[in-house]
Chain A
């Protein structure tokens, strides 16, 4: 269980996972269900339990079509797709992930390299 990650997911998604009443309508409606290792209702429950690492490592986060059918049909307004989106975001911005270090810059930079690209490549959102 990773509490920091859990809070990050809850904060970035804006979803209150405790509103879920475990009806499974999100998974009953998901067109990508068969492609996914973890299904929409499991996303919600696993965030509640703090099992974010498993979700971040799973290809499921890239199988979600973001069709928002689960958001549209959830009777409790939980919005599972927003959780998937938040986990996807957390995975791409993972701590200690694929940063560009300052030492690497001189060998790739040339006159045509836009400055903004270098800034983005630093991926400074996290230390």
Chain B
């Protein structure tokens, strides 16, 4: 016979204000099996916990029910309390009479009645609880960082610095990400490459860091502390171990009309290429879509000129399997496609560019060697119009409903740099709001206006009309003057919204990590756990979690690394004992559970059973990998024969709860 103790918390006036706690304690004290019932102002306080501990000892309690706040808040607290008094911590049930009762009701009578029902439901459940023991699993002391931009680089460097092995998987031939394409950084105007490339070199030289470039994550299995990841190393047709990065092949390659994706297609490169001078690893890659040898079997020039003999046209994609304790997602972003915005004539005129394209046009390693020229006729633009919020804060189908956060600052930067280098160029910025929260950010924007004479106009551009003379007629509203303005511009720069990289969504599925409607990864808590995914062992770094600038990305990257280090420093992880198990005698081998399991924890095995007539029979039955099971309970619902059950939340317990509610 169970001896159950009930503890009703006032939570100050949070509960006691709308629930008659004395009446609840009294009513629950009369429930079958209850031998002790009490109320106390703050059950989670030391005195409250002592009340519980003493009652467990004095009355020899075999189970306790705490009527208090949500189990998310203090279930762990009261489990520890029970364990300290020698009671198995899974013999504790929480009746949530705060969030689900006192906070949402005004009428004391109704709330008290409901609190009593919630209490007796928990009593009915705890009467059927069985002691459970958490098993432990070892932690693989190695981390995986997916994405080699500034976020992934910083996370990897910090994890390696703590002495742990870390691998970076980068889908492009080089690490560096978007920051490598940026010319200058706000608000200090230092050159992006100058501060990024030393970090890239640090990654390459660090013994603890291994870079899988031109590679993608193929599949993820396992659980926190023990992930098994398949990484696809895409064929680059160059042996990384032999290539010296001399670049002779890129000079001799005859396929010079290959769009240079690093410069966003603004100029051309050869089919065999090294993305940029400071690439890490500095190894050539063949673009199979343009290489004549790979397409038609004719050419082979690169192979002939390569002194190291690194070219391998027969190279195949390679799958590598590796084990990790923690995974950091740092998949970054891309500017959105502007196909839906005909009014800005982006697809009509080469002189309408995105801000990222402008970065390349102004960069010394860009298509014009750092001189700002119109893409159409290579002349100096004398009038440039910047349009902010192109696709940001846009609730239509082609845009994004959120603020991309970085555009106000980089537009101020572009405007300032252009006015500084080309003082004869008039620069107009059309803005809806200028958003500059950040250290020295507003001062930076004001400098653009006050010292550099950039014309900021409150209003939006309605239409950009390419003219026969090559000019761009811009029609826009000036809301402060309450007039429509027409500007004859040489170039128009669109601050396109940013969106998560397209690889993020399939990756989230592989990791069973949740995402919001905009495909940004969701954090475990928006304020208090901002760098962890709700899925244990998955951490978030950079723009994959939400728009942010470089300083914020680096801060988050280091925070994610700290969390990973905290995990890898543990020798063992306690697992949740509330996992599914199957009654093999009832299992009919239908596979329903296997199909619904989101974690791949269920497999089927052929097992020998003794039949009543002393013969044996081989039957196919479900088997749960307790280490992988997360206890979601989907299988118990799917199982038609009632074989599947969840420890701590058994079918019997749930039915007892329902009975208690309906009584």
Contacts and interface: CB of A to CB of B under 8 A. Distances in A.
Interface of A: 19, 21-30, 33-34, 39, 41-42, 69, 73-77
B458 interface: yes
B450 to A, nearest CB: 24
24 contacts: A21-B393, A21-B432, A22-B432, A23-B432, A24-B432, A24-B477, A25-B460, A26-B462, A27-B462, A27-B477, A27-B479, A28-B461, A28-B462, A28-B476, A29-B343, A30-B462, A41-B477, A69-B462, A69-B463, A75-B393, A75-B395, A76-B393, A76-B394, A76-B395
B396 interface: yes
A26 B460 CA distance: 8
Given A33-B484, A39-B482, A24 B460 contact: yes
A30 B483 CA distance: 11
A37 to B, nearest CB: 11
A46 to B, nearest CB: 13
Interface string B210-244: 00000000000000000000000000000000000
Interface string B454-468: 000011111100000
B249 to A, nearest CB: 47
Given A21-B393, A76-B395, 15 more contacts: A19-B395, A21-B432, A22-B432, A22-B479, A23-B459, A24-B477, A24-B479, A25-B477, A26-B462, A28-B459, A28-B476, A39-B477, A69-B463, A75-B395, A76-B396
A10 B399 CA distance: 26
Q: Which has the most chain B C-beta neighbours within 10 Å: A29, A39, A73, A75?
A: A75
Task: Give 4 nearest A-B pairs by CB, closest first.
Answer: A29-B462, A28-B462, A25-B460, A24-B477
B160 interface: no
Interface string B437-480: 00000000000000000000011111100000000000111010
A21 B402 CA distance: 13
A103 to B, nearest CB: 47
B408 interface: no
A24 B459 contact: yes
A113 B623 CA distance: 88
Main secondary structure of the interface of A (DSSP, over half): helix
A27 to B, nearest CB: 4
Contacts of A22: 432, 479
B67 interface: no
Contact of A28 (B394, B399, B475, B482): B475
A81 B495 CA distance: 27
Contact of A41 (B343, B430, B475, B479): B479
Nearest to A45: B479
Contacts of B476: 24, 28
A28 B460 contact: yes
Given A23-B432, A23-B459, A28-B477, A77 B484 contact: no
A25 B479 CA distance: 10
B479 A77 contact: no
Contacts of A39: 477, 482, 484
Given A23-B432, A24-B459, A76-B395, A29 B475 contact: yes
A23 B475 contact: no
Contacts of A25: 460-462, 477
Contacts of B475: 28-29
B394 A75 contact: yes
Contact of A27 (B343, B393, B484): B484
B30 to A, nearest CB: 54
B407 to A, nearest CB: 14
Contacts of B482: 39, 42
B621 interface: no
B352 interface: no
Contacts of B477: 24-28, 39, 41
B629 interface: no
B56 interface: no
B513 interface: no
A19 B401 CA distance: 12
Interface string B377-393: 00000000000010001
A39 B462 CA distance: 13
Contacts of B458: 24
A39 B343 CA distance: 19
Interface in B369-421: 389, 393-396, 399
Contacts of A69: 462-463
A25 B476 CA distance: 7
Contacts of B479: 22, 24, 27, 41
B395 A30 contact: no
Contacts of A41: 477, 479
From B394, B430, B482, B484, residue with most partner A Cβ within 10 Å? B484
A75 B393 CA distance: 7
Contacts of B459: 23-24, 27-28
A34 B395 contact: no
Contacts of A73: 343, 462
Contacts of A23: 389, 432, 459-460
A125 B4 CA distance: 72
Contacts of A34: 484
> Max chain A CB contacts within 10 Å: which of B343, B389, B399, B477?
B477
A42 B343 CA distance: 22
B339 to A, nearest CB: 15
Nearest to B398: A75
A76 to B, nearest CB: 5
Contacts of B462: 25-30, 69, 73
B411 to A, nearest CB: 15
Interface string B474-507: 0111010010100000000000000000000000
